[in-house]
Structure 1
């Protein structure tokens, strides 16, 4: 963790989004940026075999056919109050769903505070959505005619939605698995939101030629709350080109990684029902366009 944080802080010295590079005459400015890149996902869930009573791992990509590589969009807004202060909001998402025609092994999950027995040989549609939202404040503590370096403070929240649709049995707590009712459930969904937790970073930008700026940033945060443990690393460096007075385009290299471990427990005995291990990462180019006014 310390090593990753050190790498992030070092990268942060290069910088973020859309900080003013002109001079201290900037009164206020709002920048909206939309872009995307392809993510590589690896998501597993530690579940229980209701027949054998043994734990095993379900792989969302291999066993449940969720896409491993997918386009990941992002959306960012920055508002500069002057040459030193700014507020920002950003959002990233990974939404996936897939259907398998049969399951080789049944398993139990705890969704919406109920235990569900996913039956052997059933057709199953799986949904796994992760959204990450952030709001924060930036302060430019060092700037010149063509560069800025600043520090940021932010709050992150992760929205995780897990859903199953197909042949699923509903089990009452303590009930024998053979007595569980079997029904075609239209859509069983479990939604979880992490508490907003803080992160800190550095950013900067350097205008090396009129209309062209080198920008980069790195962010790091880690979540440790009750049965949830997660972290995010985001390092980006690239060139922003001015298309017109209001429109800009950015080509950058991005390293992005999110890992979430979540333990689901149920019952008086505090038994593990499903442990989620969710992660997706990306290393490669990204493109975005921004409009400022």
Structure 2
């Protein structure tokens, strides 16, 4: 799969192809989120799939601030391309795991026993790349249709006293893991959406967007849902501030010969950003 460097080259190629006569807008800020992350894993004691909650079961931080950056290029009043990025990196140590589970990474099944000490690292980066076409305008309204691609880089690390077994072997020998067991998954998901703005006054604009998609291809099955609504205040024609509420949910089921991960990632909360147009 394409790594972060490969995606960066694609983004650079896209924006370098844009004509210099257009208009740019850079938006940056923070997302004050409540995060809910779940992993469907095998329970060897109950002989069934169970849900592991990273926040309540593995002590990852539930409330946090995510950085957010968006760059949009307007070819003309109706056409634009955009890219944005947000990131959530967390690590925590649970002194005594209450829910045992097994997860397969790089061909080895790792068993986390009840009562064992476990350090969990979960890093998620999400980039959104797309194209917007403004199909409706009036004195008050501006409505765009959006089409693009979400890319999620997911890195899961486990470090502690783990059991390990290879395929076809029932015994689970105890082993100490000196370095974290890591699994990196790059999950691209196409998306479709709509974006709308309504001018209350010359200085205040109500804005909202929604995107959704589902895809199953090769070893990856996934879906996403994003809804955002808020208000923008224009200090000048170039400089503005936006406050909004954002809900984002993505599910990735990745199963190959060597790795099996079924992760649901959900965050929601207020967002505050500043934007400059030039």
How big is the alpha-carbon RMSD for the aligned residues of Structure 1 and Structure 2?
2.7
For 2:114 and 2:270, the matched residues in 1 are separated by 42
Runs of 5+ consecutive residues of structure 2 not aligned to the other structure: 1-20
Q: Which moved more, 1:156-165 or 1:104-113?
A: 104-113
Partner of residue 222, structure 1: 214
Q: How far did residue 264 of structure 1 move?
A: 4.0
SS of equivalent residue, structure 2 residue 76 = coil
- Equivalents in 1 of 2:211, 2:175: separation in Å? 46
Per-residue CA distance 1:198-239 (angstroms, 9 max, x = gap): 222222323332333222222222233356443322222222
Greater RCO (CA < 8 Å, at least 6 residues apart): 1
Q: Counterpart in 2 of 1:75?
A: 69
Deviation at 1:145, TM superposition (A): 5.2
> For residue 286 of structure 1, what is the aligned residue in structure 2?
271
Contact 1:48–1:274 (Cα < 8 Å) also in 2: no
**Cross-structure match for 1:92:** 86
* Whole-angstrom distance in 1 between the partners of 2:239 and 2:133: 24
Q: Return the offset for 1:29.
A: 1.1
Q: How has the CA–CA distance of structure 1 residues 214 and 260 changed in structure 2, closer, same or farther, with 3 Å as cutoff?
A: same
Task: Indicate conservation of the 8 Å contact 2:103/2:261, yes or no.
Answer: no
TM-score for both structures, normalised by structure 1: 0.76
Describe the SS at the equivalent of 1:185: coil
Q: Which 4+ residue blocks in structure 1 deviate beyond 6 angstroms?
A: none
Match of 2:134 among 106, 118, 140: 140
Q: Following TM superposition, by how much is the alpha carbon of 1:52 offset from its aligned partner in structure 2, in angstroms?
A: 6.8
Q: Does 1:200 align with 2:189?
A: no
| 1:278 CA drift (Å) | 1.6
Match of 2:177 among 151, 172, 184: 184
Report the 3-state secondary structure (helix = DSSP H, G, I; strand = E; otherwise coil) of the residue aligned with 2:120: strand
- 1:113 is displaced (CA, Å) by 3.0
The normalised TM-score by structure 2 is 0.80
Structure 1: unaligned runs, 5 residues or longer:
1-26, 268-272
C-alpha separation between the residues in 2 aligned to 1:133 and 1:151? Answer: 19
Structure number with bigger Rg = 1
